[in-house]
Structure 1
Amino acid sequence: MLGIFYVILIFLLGRELAPGTVRLRPWLLLPVSFGTGTLVMGWGTYLVSLLASVCLGAEKPLFYGNLIVMGGACVILAFLYVKRMREGRISGTSFKTCLGILRKSRRENTGEIIFFGILLIFISWTMFYVFHVKDGALYSGFSVFGDYAPHTAMIRSFSWGNNFPTQYPHFGGEDVKYHFMFQFLAGNLEYLGLRIDIAYNLISILALEGFLMMLYMLAARITGMRRAGVLGIVFFFFRSGTAFFRFVWEHIKAGDLWTVLAENTSFIGYTPNEDWGLWNYNVYLNQRHLAFGLLIVCIALWIYLDWVEETADASEKGIRWLRKRFFTKNAWKCKRIETALLVGMMLGMTSFWNGAAVIGGLLILAGFGIFSDGKLDYALTAAAAIIFSLLQSKIFIQGEAMELSFYWGFLAEDKSLGGVLWYILLVSGIYFAGLLFVFFFLKRKGRIILLSFLFPAVFAFFISLTPDINVNHKYVMLSYAFLTMFWAWAAVSLWKRNWIGRIAALGLALCLTVTGIYDFVVILKDNDENHRVSVQLDSPLSRWISENLDKGDLILTPEYSINEVTMSGEMLYCGWPYYAWSAGYDTNDRAAKATEIYTTDSQDRLRALVEEEKITYILFEEGMEFEQNVCREDVIARTYPLVYRSEDGRIRIYET
């Protein structure tokens, strides 16, 4: 199947792009190959398809994008392999050597192979548990379908449609302000023959598995303990917090603890929007593109750890060491200009895969740079990343990509310093507060890295980049993910001491995971067969809309989230408003005009609004309301011809 072949090409091309230092380390080579290969293949396919659509007027631009990029990748790989064969680097002897290396690697890494195998099974199970196809219907769990609504619409806009130049399907007719390349990749794989759930889940599994492989390798390198890498990943899945302890205490007093534990299907929380699942594994299940962004960030951090380690190993102590980080030539001069530029380009290319991950990664690198020599390398990386991001923004976005503003306190209701600190304690439990204690037991390298990992979380409490401050939770989650290694190091260190240390390690692990474990139980309950949204994968309505609307069309509908209309991949005038509003679109203006179109008694006013907003189709659903206003069909029916009626007569579409 072409979709699988495309993924294989991603790995093979990514391997050629991987530095030689990682090629004999499988837990580096696999994620690096997937990350870099995806960026190159993904952008290549998108840009060729864009040119085919805009310049050649191609109705199926992905055909040309895949033909040229997949064909080009095959030619490049064939050329490299033939060249190596002629040079004697690929032969029977070299093949036997490779087999020997693999056998040795298997013996030395048996534990890691088992661990990552279990991890792969767990991630695959959870991804398909919340998003899968069965009997021709696409099922999305209750805790995730809200995010999947715009994502599946975007996926279908590429696999079924011609979304070039790219628009946001829930707010069609304008630019795209939201990172969409991960959805483009899934859409391209569906176009190449993979079923939508397999396409989306496959790249999500590879992205999260790759990120966690890199996180494991970073933890092992930074702490010097492989066990810290394993335990850190456990802490990654099951968050720290005070919510479970308070929840249990309240229901013990009420006398209904066991009943509530058995019946509850909602995330627990006592801070604003904590019950959305802002802080647990559910984030990685519904925002699949975040893991891919973090994978790329990990690659950048792995490279720049060389700078940190060289600086941390310096012989100076105290203030003298710190002074040399700013007031010497070595503190500023470039060490590896080419590497710095390539890392910056890689991060910049990730901006429209997940912009929050890129910003968080640059913040961590800023922390590295403050305490490392070679500061101009960091500056070059940041500059290259920003330039590439701005170039993409100029292509995709009209106006400003972000609205930078000072916003103190994030979601804390009490904005005083004490109130914000109390909020952090309630949300994370001992996690962030306890790291201040862990800090004093670390050596210089560990302290530099711990402080740097805190930068994204600090950023979340001071700066807002979007109308919805809730999205800043990604920066806190980013810090949380990377800081797990230090708590893992602390727990493993305690375990090694004596029986008292082991008891303390178990208690620490329990405090750090029990809230997250209960959150995971809720994920399973809230996404079981009784808690899922279903939509027909290939309904007559979806097919009719896809086949009869062109890329320049705009359809007015009720404020749909996910249904057969959104699964057509065509552009909605005003879908569910939260998605578009949080991405920076003016949803209030469109909602007001849509309400007037659906409720007006004037044909002239109807025609004027429809023409002004460039709406080409109007969908009316039996008994519908819009913004709690009763809608009328008679004026629309007198003004425009009926072009579609569903079999049950519930849906009617008029062409303007």
Structure 2
Amino acid sequence: MDEKKIIIDLILPCYNTNELDPSRLISYIQELEAAKAVAIHPIIVFDGPSEDINLDALKEQFSLLPLISFVKYKKNRGKGFAVRSALPSSKGKFHLYTDIDLPYPLEYTGKIIDSLLAGHDLSVGVRQKIVDDNIGTHRRIISLVFRFFAHYILRLPFKDTQCGLKGFNRKGKFFLKHGIIDRYTFDLEFLAKCFLSKKIKSNTIDVTLRKNVIATHFHCKVILQEAIQAFKFLFYHYGIYLFMFLFSWWLMFSSFNFDSLNNVILVGSHAFSDFLAHVPMIRSFSWGENFPIEYPLYSGEPIRYHYLFYLVAGMLERFFLRIDYALNLISLAGFFLLLLMIYKISLWLFRDKKISVLSVLFFLFNGTLSSIEFFSRHGLNINAFKELFTQQMWQCFYPYGGVIGNSCNITAFSNLNIYTNQRHLGPAFGIVLAFLYFSQTSKILSQKRAIIQGLIIGIIISIFPIFHQPSLLFFAILLAFFFLISPGKRLFYFTAGLISLVGILWQIKGGSSTGAAITWHVGYLIEGKVTIMNFINFWWRNLGLPAPLAIAGFIMMPKRGKLLLVPAILLFILGNTFQFASEMSANHKLFNFSLIFFNMAAAYALVRLYNLAGQTIGHRLLLKFTQTSLLAMGLFSIAGGIIDIFPLVNEHFYHIPGLQKRKLVEWFKKNTLPSDAIFNSNYNQHPASLAGRKIFMGWAYFPFSLGYDTLARAQIIKETLNAKNFKLFCEVMNKYKLAYATIEENQNDSNSPFVHLQDYLDLKQPDYLDPETNMAVYSKKSICAP
């Protein structure tokens, strides 16, 4: 044999030895070697009963093929297993596999070799006529199903995945080697892996079967087995996407729904307070006319809240959907995008699906020490586990209290409640991560494309003052950091930064910003004097075991991973040293975002240590102990999040509006103009705001957190009601452009002014007096009438 000839492996699975024709195979290989000037290394794999096979006799029969190898095992495991079993015996630079009866003429095998020699990583034989006349009905059906599935579901560039003639180099060998399907559908898995990687250069060769080839007839049992194998493939490769989507669906619909029987909105008990602001915001766009945009719970002034997400929900309700679908569908889409980007970025960084899945799990199930808090209260016994599955409150909800109360300093922002309450948070994070993923995985661009793509990204970022203002800080840090470390993409980052800056400054000039001053504040929510010890203690309780794992991961991970953690570390430092909003707790967004990357580092450390243990520890018991300990660490890292998920599973629903206020909501919807603003004596689920009308002032916490002067308005409401005459009412309504006023009895609620409704009823007859709530509604016309 000429030592300079390229060696090509030819893998030949053989289940039925009657199909093995030594003379024909020898002739086939010799002709192929002569035609292509290569050395063929045949590997015959006996994947059926092989006790009677005499390898010495076979070697004698194939003496003219000095490179031939044989592989055999006792039990049939399928063609896919047979092909993979040949790979350890491979010697060549390129590899082909086909059936032992050589069903495809020599010319097509030659074309496959030519394609590989020309530089393709993968060359695939494709039968134009897949459904041949000589195959049974069952196989005919399978062929048609696979053709549809491969082309229209997996979006492969060809329809025939099951042709038994394929060639590949070492890149393709990697994907075949790591397959999990053993039987008929292994071809589908192999090709899908190659094409989904987007790193394989491939081509197709049109082939036809030689005459008189008899196809295998499949029985129903085989069809069932292949269906299970196909499901196995789908679940292994796409199950994580299905899980992320279903989890997103459950999370959003479990906290916000609709009772069509009673025509009321259902809000989970843990999301109720936030939705007292969200629902009026949505309804101001769907049932009201909130243009130019004002805050519906503080009428008459431009909005200072990032409202775009709720504007989209409002428009969906206005034209297409019920309010729960309008909000939940965009919420779950955004949260799914967030999970998808966590998975994709970690997969891009570490090229290990286990790390990616673990990164998603670490995000969903936080690493806080809530589990220790729970078992310290309930003990480690069977009753504790029973209470775990039925609990409705979090162990810790600092600084707002919880089961244990403020003595437990694990924050309320560690669990998933933050994403059910702040619906725009998940989509905002998802878009920022999508920008990061796109900008880092894309190739160095031409100047023209860099400017165009930078322009598009800049426009998207410039929308964030009205979508999610805190994310602008994330964009700013990422743009600046990547501008410094990516010389080939600086024009892209510069263009994106410049365009977004222009858009943001224009909006700030127009009054879109809250205008909150940034102040120095060390220690986030740590009480008392901040010391090194109580700083470490606070974050140990709030981060848990993933914190030291993330440090270990940072030390071990490749340079690309280290660089990506730098912006996350910077955000963590900023969140602990500055206050960016009127309340310090709003800094949670910086930590929620940075923890995404810390979790990736923790997942990397855990998987890397597990793999290193398998590679370096020779003692069997010590290896099992080490790997079991690492698995236990992984479980402990999500134990707090598992405990924190049950309050969401078990939460009960409140009605918005309360059942007694349904008629009032309908009255405001039918009898007032969509643009009307209402003077209100009470803010609790005010029916006018639930009908899309703006009210003078809602629950003070909401407008106060946005920087509105709630004390001044509260004083105006108090003075107006205490006057007990309609003259002052008329002056206030004219000054603040209020169309109606609502007055209701209040003798017990200390948060609202004292009101004795009869005093007003004695003065004037209201336009409407609700019989269920005893709320009186007066129009400005009737109030200001002499």
Tell me the TM-score range normalised by the shorter chain: 0.7 to 0.9
Instruction: Call closer, same or farther: CA 1:610–1:213 in 2, change over 3 Å.
Output: same
Q: Secondary structure at the match of 1:101?
A: coil
1:570 aligns with 2:693: yes
Map residues 397-436 of structure 1 onto 2, 5 A cutoff: 397=512, 401-418=515-532, 419-436=534-551
Amino acid paired to 1:137 = V
Higher mean alpha-carbon deviation, 384-393 vs 119-128, is at 384-393
Q: What is the SS of the residue equivalent to 2:254?
A: helix
Note if contact 1:641-1:655 (Cα within 8 Å) is conserved in structure 2. no
Matched letter for residue 566 of structure 2: L
Map 1:13-28 → 2, pairs under 5 A: none
Between the two proteins, the alignment pairs up a number of residues equal to 538
Q: Out of 548, 559, 563, which is 1:448 matched to?
A: 563
Q: Does 1:179 align with 2:306?
A: yes
Compared CA separation, residues 184 and 252, structure 1 to 2 (3 A): same
Cα drift, residue 182 of structure 1: 0.8
Residue of structure 2 in register with 1:114 after alignment: 239
Aligned to 2:139: none
- Tell whether the 8 Å contact from 1:644 to 1:654 is kept in structure 2 after alignment: yes
Helix, strand or coil at the partner of 2:302: coil
Matches within 5 A, 1:65-464: 100-101=156-157, 107-108=192-193, 110=234, 111-134=236-259, 135=261, 136-252=263-379, 257=384, 261=388, 264-269=391-396, 271-273=398-400, 275=402, 277-306=412-441, 336-373=450-487, 377-397=492-512, 401-418=515-532, 419-464=534-579
Other structure's SS at 1:138 match: strand
Deviations along 1:249-299, one digit per CA (max 9) or x if unpaired, are 244399985686466422122753474732111111111111111221122
Q: Is the 8 A contact 1:591 1:627 kept in 2?
A: no
Provide the C-alpha distance between the structure 2 equivalents of 1:369 and 1:334, rounded to a whole number of angstroms. Answer: 18
SS at match of 2:696: coil
2:239 is paired with a residue whose SS is helix
CA deviation after TM superposition for structure 1 residue 199, in Å: 1.1
CA distance in 2, matches of 1:131, 1:270: 21
- Quote the offset at 1:641 in angstroms: 5.2
Higher percent of residues as helix: 1
Partner of 2:609: 494
> In the TM superposition, what is the alpha-carbon distance from 1:588 to its structure 2 partner?
1.4
SS at match of 2:257: strand
TM-score normalized with structure 1 length? 0.74
Deviations 1:162-198 (A, max 9, x none): 1111111111111111111111111111111311101
The CA deviation at 1:345 is 2.1
Displacement, 1:244? 2.4
Q: Report the secondary structure of 1:619's partner residue.
A: strand
RMSD of the alignment, in Å?
3.3
Structure 1 counterpart SS, 2:571: helix
2:652 to 519, 528, 546: 528
For residue 646 of structure 1, what is the aligned residue in structure 2? 770
Match of 1:513 in 2: 638
Taking the aligned partners of 1:274 and 1:453, their CA distance within structure 2 comes to: 28
- Deviation at 1:300? 1.4
Q: Which amino acid aligns with 1:548?
A: N
CA distance in 1, matches of 2:632, 2:475: 32
8 Å CA contact 1:542, 1:568 repeated in 2 = yes
The answer to whether the Cα contact below 8 Å between 2:370 and 2:643 also exists between their aligned partners in 1 is no
| Structure with higher RCO (Cα < 8 A, 6+ apart) | 1
- Separation in 2, partners of 1:356, 1:293: 9
Structure 1 or 2: larger strand share?
Answer: 2
Check the 8 A contact 1:138/1:536 in 2, yes or no. no
Alignment deviations for residues 23-73 of structure 1 (CA, whole Å, 9 cap, x no partner): xxxxxxxxxxxxxxxxxxxxxxxxxxxxxxxxxxxxxxxxxxxxxxxxxxx
User: Residues 252, 192 of structure 1: CA spacing in aligned structure 2 closer, same or farther, 3 A cutoff?
Assistant: same
Identify the residue that residue 109 of structure 2 maps to in structure 1. Answer: none
Q: 2:756 aligns with which of 632, 636, 652?
A: 632
Distance 1:548 1:403, change over 3 A: farther
Distance of 1:254 and 1:114 partners within structure 2: 34
In structure 1, which of residues 469, 476, 484 is the aligned counterpart of residue 599 of structure 2?
Answer: 484
Cα contact 2:370–2:644 (8 A) shared by 1:
no
- CA distance in 2 between counterparts of 1:255 and 1:592 reads 55
Q: Deviations over 1:562-596 (max 9, x none)?
A: 35333201101111111111122111111121122
Q: d(CA) in 1 for partners of 2:538 and 2:347?
A: 32
Gaps of 5+ in 1: 1-94, 311-332
Are 2:609 and 1:553 aligned? Answer: no
Where does residue 73 of structure 1 map in the other structure?
none
- Looking at structure 2, the residues matched to 375 and 466 of structure 1 have their Cα atoms a distance apart, in angstroms, of 32
Report what 1:59 is aligned to. Answer: none
Residue number in structure 2 paired with 1:79:
none
Shift of 1:417: 4.0
Gap change, CA 1:536 and 1:219, over 3 Å in 2: farther
713, 719, 739: which one pairs with 1:616?
739
Give me the whole-angstrom Cα distance separating, in 2, the residues matched to 1:492 and 1:511.
15
Contact 1:368-1:449 at 8 Å conserved across structures: no
- Percent identity, aligned pairs only, is 23
Counterpart of 2:580 in structure 1 is: 465
Amino acid at match of 2:770: S
Whether the 8 Å contact between 1:292 and 1:353 is mirrored in structure 2 is no
1:102–1:166 CA distance, 2 compared to 1 (3 A): farther
Moved more, 606-615 or 295-304: 606-615
Distance in 1 between residues matched to 2:562 and 2:298, nearest whole Å = 46
- For residues 607 and 518 of structure 1, the distance between their equivalents in structure 2, rounded to whole angstroms, comes to 55
User: Larger C-alpha radius of gyration, 1 or 2?
Assistant: 2
How much has 1:125 moved relative to structure 2?
1.9
Moved more, 561-570 or 582-591: 561-570
Q: For structure 2, list consecutive stretches of 5 or more residues without a partner in the other structure.
A: 1-150, 162-187, 194-232, 403-410, 615-623, 781-786
Q: 1:259 to 1:367 in 2, by over 3 A?
A: same
